Amino acid sequence: MQSVKNERGSVLIFATLIIVLLLIMVGMGLDTGHLAYVRSQGQPAVDSAALAAASAIPSGNMTKVTDQAAKFNPDASGNPGIGNNYVSSSNSNHKIGPDSVTLVHYDKATGAITTSGVTVDPSAPQNVRANGVRVALENNNPYGGTAGAAMKSPLFLTPLFNLFGETTSTTADVSVSSVAVIRALPGLPIVVKTTICGTSATLNFQGGPGNNAGWETYYIENASATEIRDLWDALPQCAGQPVVDIGFCGNMNNGVIDNIFKKNIKDIYDADMKTFGKACYLIPAVDPNTFNNFNQCAPIKDWAELCLDKNDPFNKNGSQNGQLKGTVTCGQSIDTSRATKCYVPFLVRDTKSGM
């Protein structure tokens, strides 16, 4: 009995298997590449939306927060203009809207993000006072809040299985998220001693052993009266006050600068009393044991809220010029304080979503 040695056609079988393998590899490459492309479109969209929404938190108005997040959506005609053009951005079910926005309280020390009970109410306790916003395009919110809809990316490989009788989806969900938080800039370039925390105090800028307040000039060493006035003149434009925190060694100066008391502080005080009915400002506090006088560098020990007296803020009934009267409340935080008009938004890591 002889064995069959006819091997004609074996190359065809091998070539067919190779072609199928190549198609699978090409399909996988196309799908992976397109998924990455869709994600690269969506990530900038939620990043910009989160930064815009976070900037509205100090308003205390949730509608403004969600409106800011939706600012970059396409118009009614689907034209993205200078706004979002990610995949399905013109689809009403996939736009960034209220369901895409979650208020967060971010703890910079641990990186923990809390969403339960968080509110934009500026009078709420600091641990539930919103200092950030999470914006996401996703089907399920890992923090348990609302969710809009993930982006849809077309697939190239899996639809081929439909040829073999298998029912497969022609699209894949792509989720992206972003968390932006705000940090307060100091409300006034004034620094006080921690020894007056929790008191109704008279702030004395005169210099000498009895003074308890001075001018905080931050990075400016040996600041002259002109440079200090420039800091005050820049306040309406949110300029000059850097993002600093506890531990930063800021440069200080003292002495009475008449123009600041007679114009800068008076104008700010009058405007805030007219608008808000109060004049409260975030300022740094320093430990008197770390310096000799308000004319050197001293590390920020705490943050205080200075609320100027409603009846006699400039101590007109006092014995000296160049004084302020008000209550000093320490234990404040640049992450939750609302005693300023100026904030800096920035992105942080959303570890729960892996982004």
**Residues found in the chain:** 355
- Distance between CA 281 and CA 337 in Å, rounded? 9
Please name the residue that has the structure tokens 């160049």.
322
Q: How far is CA 60 from CA 64, 178, 215, in A?
A: 8, 21, 30
- Distance between CA 300 and CA 284 in Å, rounded? 6
pLDDT per 10-residue tile (average), the chain, 355 residues: 60 71 69 82 93 96 95 76 77 87 94 94 93 95 89 77 67 91 96 95 82 93 92 91 94 91 92 94 95 91 96 77 91 95 94 78
In the predicted model, what is the mean pLDDT of the chain?
Answer: 87
Please state the pTM of the whole predicted model.
0.85
Please name the residue that has the structure tokens 């109060």.
278
**pLDDT tens digits, residue range 44-69?**
999 999 999 999 999 999 999 999 99
Residue 188 has what pLDDT? 95
- Residue 7, token pair as written in the block: 């091997």
- Distance between CA 241 and CA 281 in Å, rounded? 13
Residue 80 has what pLDDT? 62
Q: How far is CA 153 from CA 30, 42, 99, 169, 178, in A?
A: 11, 11, 21, 11, 19
Residue 33 has what pLDDT? 77
- Residue 27, token pair as written in the block: 């399909």
Residue 321 has what pLDDT? 73
